[in-house]
Amino acid sequence: MATEIYLSPDVDNYTMPTGELYFTREGQTEEVHMGNASKVELNLEVKLATHYSSMGGIRRKDKTVVTEAEATFKATLDEWTPDNIALALLADTTSNTEEDVVLEIGAAELVYGSIRFEARNDIGRRVNYVLPSVAIKPSKALALVDDGFSVIDIEGDVQVTKVGNKYRFGTATFVQTENITE
């Protein structure tokens, strides 16, 4: 149940979200800052099965249940770093004799890891998100030539995790104003 400070109506509930995005590859402990992300989205979808009673003149819906649930993460990254481009190209990272970073394009079928979004907005409530298991896949073509600043679009299928006896895709934490340190 929400605490009293989050009840509506309240103009403090309006928000202009901004924040910082982090990725940790599966099997690694280092969390990588993904740089400026101009768009970050989380979408949940469910498929339903419905049942209708046929005990009267008109069939009436009497039961709806969820048969499938899925979550998708999308981000538009502005910074062309080896880590970000490796996600977009499903690449493994190595180096050559000149110590250049070399991406082996397509060497990974999917890139698994966790996503953390830390809210930094000045207007509205701050909500931090943690998605502990995401399978990153290419989203759009990587523009090698563009008329303006080029971006890197990535997408990920959020995998469900079991915590205790509950299955969940992640967490969203409303941060109390007095708990914000910068």
pTM: 0.89
Q: What is the pLDDT of residue 18?
A: 95
DSSP alpha helices (H): ranges in the chain? Answer: 82-88
Which candidate, 126, 150, 152, places its Cα nearest to that of 138?
152
Report d(CA 26, CA 14) in Å as an integer: 35
Which candidate, 25, 5, 42, 37, places its Cα nearest to that of 120?
37
pLDDT in tens for each of the 182 residues of the chain?
556 777 888 888 899 999 999 999 999 999 999 999 999 999 999 999 999 999 988 999 999 999 999 999 999 999 999 999 999 999 998 888 888 999 999 999 899 999 999 999 999 889 999 999 999 998 899 999 989 999 999 999 999 999 999 999 999 999 987 556 66
- Span between the terminal Cα atoms of the chain, in Å: 28
SS3 168: strand
- Give the Å distances, CA to CA, from 28 to 31, 39, 54, 119, 154: 8, 25, 56, 24, 20
Outline where DSSP puts E strands in the chain.
Answer: 19-25, 32-33, 37-53, 60-77, 92-95, 101-104, 111-119, 126-138, 152-158, 161-163, 166-168, 171-175
**Residue 103 β-bridge partners:** 93
Q: What is the pLDDT of residue 13?
A: 86
Q: Domain residue spans in the chain?
A: 17-40+78-179
Instruction: Tell me if 139 sits within 8 A of 74, measured CB to CB.
Output: yes
